[in-house]
């Protein structure tokens, strides 16, 4: 296939696919390894390679589910807690094949600004998402409030922060409609 058409289709057809759409069919370890390997080829200023990943599969998903519910109960004022939200937090990891905690390790030398490290991690995540699309696997980047309370659970190092989770699972083929306003509204051309 023409590689330009392939990359255009891959990028445009990527959609966030949420755990409620996952069908429970296993995603192979080879695909998960490919997702991680492609993350590693993101651009990185001064080669700090700040992306770090904690991969939850199998029983690990139950541990993650329990921990996220525990944190939700702890950080949410009682009057704001709902059974519906608690159930969603609990079942999202269990409906997934794999959940990858997306982390950023700040360079101890602080040789570049923190935002550049976050940007490099986001580039890595896009590589991961596109690898999922190429394999017809669903995924989405989730950034719940619980991520600010995971230091000990994720055994984060000094200078390491969690930026969210990549939920991954197979789904039955169906159309997910993408929505964007025109690029022309966001671009200024300076040509003379």
Write out the residues near ligand FMN by the rule CB under 6 A: 15-16, 140-144, 164, 178
* Minimum distance from residue 140 beta carbon to ligand FMN (Å): 5
* Minimum distance from residue 191 beta carbon to ligand FMN (Å): 30
* Minimum distance from residue 61 beta carbon to ligand FMN (Å): 18
| Comparison of 19 and 47: residue with beta carbon closer to ligand FMN | 19
Burial of 47 from C-beta contacts in 10 A (0-12 / 13-18 / 19+): exposed
| Comparison of 136 and 143: residue with beta carbon closer to ligand FMN | 143
* Minimum distance from residue 141 beta carbon to ligand FMN (Å): 4
> What letter would DSSP give residue 41?
T
Taking the CA of residue 55 as centre, how many other CA atoms within 13 Å lie in the half-sphere pointing to its CB? 12
| Comparison of 153 and 167: residue with beta carbon closer to ligand FMN | 167
Cα of 158 vs its chain's centroid, Å:
22
Report the distance separating Cα 3 and Cα 168, nearest Å: 26
| Comparison of 31 and 119: residue with beta carbon closer to ligand FMN | 119
Q: Which residue matches tokens 């525990």?
A: 70
């Amino acid at each position: 296939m023409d590689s330009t058409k392939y990359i255009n289709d891959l990028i445009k057809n990527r959609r966030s696919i949420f755990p409620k759409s996952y069908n429970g069919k296993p995603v192979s370890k080879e695909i998960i390894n490919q997702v991680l390997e492609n993350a590693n080829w993101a651009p990185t200023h001064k080669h700090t390679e700040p992306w770090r990943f904690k991969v939850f599969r199998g029983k690990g998903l139950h541990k993650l589910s329990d921990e996220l519910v525990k944190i939700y109960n702890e950080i949410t004022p009682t009057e704001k807690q709902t059974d519906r939200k608690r159930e969603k937090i609990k079942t999202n990891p269990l409906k997934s094949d794999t959940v990858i905690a997306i982390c950023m390790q700040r360079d101890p030398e602080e040789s570049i600004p923190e935002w550049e490290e976050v940007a490099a991690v986001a580039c890595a995540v896009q590589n991961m998402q596109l690898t999922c699309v190429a394999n017809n696997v669903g995924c989405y980047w989730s950034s719940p409030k619980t991520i600010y309370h995971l230091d000990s659970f994720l055994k984060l190092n000094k200078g390491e922060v969690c930026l969210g989770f990549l939920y991954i699972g197979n789904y039955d083929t169906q159309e997910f409609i993408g929505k964007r306003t025109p690029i022309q509204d966001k671009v200024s051309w300076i040509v003379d």
